[in-house]
Amino acid sequence: AGLNTLAKAAGKLYFGSATDNPELSDSAYVKILSDAKEFGQITPGNSMKWDATEPTRGTFTFTNGDVVANLAKANGQLLRGHNCVWHNQLPSWVSNGQFTAADLTSVIQNHCSTVVSHYKGQILRSYSWDVVNEPFNDDGTWRSDVFYNTLNSSYVSIALKAARAADPNAKLYINDYNIENSGAKATAMLNLVKQLIADGVPIDGVGFQSHFIVGSVPTSFQTVLEQFAALGLEVAITELDIRMTLPETDTLLAQQAKDYESVVKACMNVEKCVGITIWDYTDKYSWVPSTFSGQGAALPWDSDLAIKPAYNGIVAAL
């Protein structure tokens, strides 16, 4: 029936995939990506990031982001905007900028406001924005970047308020990794969103990136999702992939299928978990091999665009 069809039948909003502009010249790839039975949502893997959208101060380029937004529109898919404020893929005018707090506040406000308002109404149904990406270190302390070092944690609310004003209909998320198991980092995120809610700052959801390893997917994921849902927030799996040390073997592929099933099940079991996004759908275009040396084969379609056992693991959970 297709992953999105099954996810929706089970009460979720979407099953989706990330994509990236260079891949969109591959027509066999685009055909599957555009099949709304498989994917009801897409996320641009790179083209809405700060370095892509505001490479120099005050000069915005939306060409590549628009290609992805228009593809979503043509396919009747939801869009997750990714992202407004992140320590990576920042142009050097931001990362090396010597800003006063007031100056950086207006830089963040102008960036979030311009990018979020650009995609307001240009797409069929804008769904959500990762307004803040990866604010924490793995030990739960704040990441030391230009935003935190200049503005302390206040940059989070500055960005969220600017995004809300720019598109009141978009769901606003904070997104991070290694918060899928109970521990210091998940606790730090819980405390942050509790504080934001107490302060009346607009926050709608928390995204769990979910870049996992075959054989060691989190065991307390459902519990963590429920803890966030209990605060009244929605939650989503936003960048799922489950990598293995290459070469792939039948044993690893079978374990990977079980791992996909258990991760997807964690979301299915939590009503406020609105959807699941894989970080591209095919091993042909996964970010994993170039980032984690010797690892790969992390996605449910192989590099020839054929489904793998992992696909059936997802189906079993939906």
Residues at the site binding ligand XIL, with contacts judged by CB under 6 A: 45-46, 133, 209, 239, 287
Alpha carbon 216 to chain centroid, angstroms? 21
Give, in order, the Cα–Cα distances in Å from 103 to each of 85, 97, 110, 162. 15, 10, 11, 15
Using CB atoms, what's the residue nearest to ligand XIL?
Answer: 287
Q: Using the 8-state DSSP alphabet, how is residue 142 labeled? A: B
Interatomic CA distance for residues 166 and 162, integer angstroms: 6
> Minimum distance from CB of 242 to ligand XIL (Å)?
14
> Minimum distance from CB of 112 to ligand XIL (Å)?
16
Which CB, 46 or 128, lies closer to ligand XIL? 46
> Minimum distance from CB of 49 to ligand XIL (Å)?
7
Which CB, 191 or 291, lies closer to ligand XIL? 291
Q: From the candidates 38, 134, 180, 261, give the one annotated as an active-site residue.
A: 134
Which CB, 16 or 45, lies closer to ligand XIL? 45
What separation, in Å, do the N-terminal and C-terminal C-alpha atoms of the chain show? 11
Q: From the candidates 38, 54, 180, 239, give the one annotated as an active-site residue.
A: 239
Which CB, 33 or 318, lies closer to ligand XIL? 33
Per the annotation, the verdict on 38 as an active-site residue is: no
Which CB, 18 or 268, lies closer to ligand XIL? 18
> Minimum distance from CB of 251 to ligand XIL (Å)?
27
Tokens of 139: 């030990």
127 — phi, psi (to 5°)? -110, -60
* Nearby residues of 27 by Cβ (< 8 Å), 6 or more positions away: none
Interatomic CA distance for residues 250 and 75, integer angstroms: 34
* Nearby residues of 268 by Cβ (< 8 Å), 6 or more positions away: 10, 12, 317, 318
> Minimum distance from CB of 46 to ligand XIL (Å)?
5
Interatomic CA distance for residues 161 and 105, integer angstroms: 11
Q: Using the 8-state DSSP alphabet, how is residue 282 labeled? A: B
Per the annotation, the verdict on 226 as an active-site residue is: no
Residues acting as catalytic residues: 134, 239
